[in-house]
């Protein structure tokens, strides 16, 4: 029983997930994150489970994996996995929705602080021998707009309260109870866009969220506002964002995610009011260990115990 893993961070800090697989009789096959289908092919016939980061789990791959029972996303977003094709084959698709919520929330708030105080720009100029007097903006007491008040968005909101921020939120499925308990106001997307000093995105990439922030929506933001994306590339139209930042339509932006990854260059990288990072928001020792353990637990649930895994994402009963 082979388990193919293409997540480079799986069991990076703790061998417990590997040990658990071995104790249950699984053979772990570790391949690079960008391994092509040809590298997977020698193992697919005997593969019963996959743990993936960004591998394209498509019909061509599934056709060569007759014993495959479960595909575990080593993280949250499952947009690289064909949900319809897996469902038709009776293959579970799972994710780990909350194991890295604290890590991503910390990172998103770090990007908010970095954007407001221009820490990256100050570091670059100081290292270059300058002594910049950068006059930045406050975070304390400002309005934070959270799009997606789910596991991660809620944690960002709790952090914002420590900065005495007014928190407003938009969600397709609002958790009114949580909002009421923590003084968060649900508003329309237009109201959030127009009234927030900082907007942070925490939604998956879907038909509803594709290009959610295009030129028209960005123009509705305050000229002094900042846009933070630590969710998925494609939610923000990158060309429109580039033009908006170039024209100072908004004060700045930061992104940990892009439409195409990895990236060696991008027009946004040339702008001083844009902070790019390399999809690392969830990469902490604690988060990575927890994600690996929960992926393995769902594999054991499915294959060894014959149970429905905990976090099924493709609607399979």
* Alpha-carbon gap, residue 101 to 74, rounded angstroms: 13
Q: What is the pTM of this model?
A: 0.86
**pLDDT at res. 95:** 95
Chain-centre distance for alpha carbon 34: 18
**pLDDT at res. 125:** 96
* Alpha-carbon gap, residue 184 to 181, rounded angstroms: 8
Measured between alpha carbons, how far is residue 250 from residues 112, 194, 203, 212, 214 in Å?
14, 12, 21, 16, 13
- Nearest CA to 89 out of 122, 111, 113, 67 is that of 67
Element (H, E) at 272: none
**pLDDT at res. 77:** 85
Reduced to 3 states (helix: H, G, I; strand: E, B; else coil), residue 268 is: helix
DSSP per-residue letters across 200-233:
EE-----TTTTTSB-HHHHHTS-TT-EEEE-S-T
List the chain residues with pLDDT less than 70: none
Buried b or exposed e, range 230-268, using 16+ CB within 10 angstroms: bbbbbbbbbebbbebbeeebbbbbbbbbbbeeeeeebeb
**pLDDT at res. 76:** 86
- DSSP label at residue 40: H
**pLDDT at res. 37:** 96
Q: Would you say 75 and 290 are in contact if contact means Cβ atoms under 8 Å apart?
A: no
Residues written for the chain:
317
The residues carrying an active-site annotation are 232, 261, 279
**pLDDT at res. 248:** 97
**pLDDT at res. 236:** 98
**pLDDT at res. 201:** 98
- Nearest CA to 92 out of 109, 110, 112, 71 is that of 71
pLDDT in tens, 157-216: 999 999 999 999 999 999 999 999 999 999 999 999 999 999 999 999 999 999 999 999
Measured between alpha carbons, how far is residue 3 from residues 27, 49, 301 in Å?
6, 5, 14
- Nearest CA to 205 out of 236, 179, 177 is that of 236
Q: Would you say 227 and 253 are in contact if contact means Cβ atoms under 8 Å apart?
A: yes
């Amino acid at each position: 029983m082979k388990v193919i893993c293409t997540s480079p961070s799986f069991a990076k800090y703790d061998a417990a997930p590997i040990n658990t697989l071995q104790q249950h009789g699984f053979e772990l096959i570790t391949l690079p994150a960008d391994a092509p289908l040809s590298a997977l092919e020698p193992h697919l016939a005997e593969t019963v489970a996959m743990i993936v980061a960004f591998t394209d789990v498509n019909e061509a791959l599934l056709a060569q994996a007759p014993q495959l029972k479960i595909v575990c996303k080593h993280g949250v977003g499952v947009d690289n996995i064909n949900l319809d094709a897996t469902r038709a084959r009776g293959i579970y698709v799972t994710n780990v929705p909350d194991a890295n919520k604290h890590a991503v929330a910390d990172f998103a708030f770090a990007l908010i602080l970095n954007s407001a105080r221009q820490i990256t720009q100050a570091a670059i100029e100081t290292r270059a021998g300058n002594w910049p007097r950068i006059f930045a903006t406050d975070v304390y007491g400002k309005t934070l707009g959270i799009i997606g008040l789910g596991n991660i968005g809620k944690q960002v909101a709790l952090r914002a309260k420590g900065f005495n921020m007014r928190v407003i939120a938009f969600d397709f499925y609002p958790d009114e109870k949580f909002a009421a308990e923590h003084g968060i106001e649900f508003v329309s997307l237009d109201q959030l866009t127009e009234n927030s000093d900082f907007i942070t995105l925490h939604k998956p990439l879907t038909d509803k969220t594709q290009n959610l922030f295009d030129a028209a929506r960005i123009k509705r933001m305050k000229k002094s506002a900042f846009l933070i994306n630590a969710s998925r590339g494609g939610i923000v139209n990158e060309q429109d964002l580039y033009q908006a930042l170039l024209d100072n339509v908004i004060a700045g932006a930061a992104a940990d995610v892009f439409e195409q990854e990895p990236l060696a260059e991008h027009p946004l990288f040339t702008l001083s009011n844009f902070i790019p990072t390399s999809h690392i928001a969830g990469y902490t020792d604690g988060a990575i260990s927890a994600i690996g353990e929960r992926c393995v637990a769902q594999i054991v649930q499915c294959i060894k115990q014959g149970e429905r895994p905990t976090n099924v994402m493709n609607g399979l009963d």
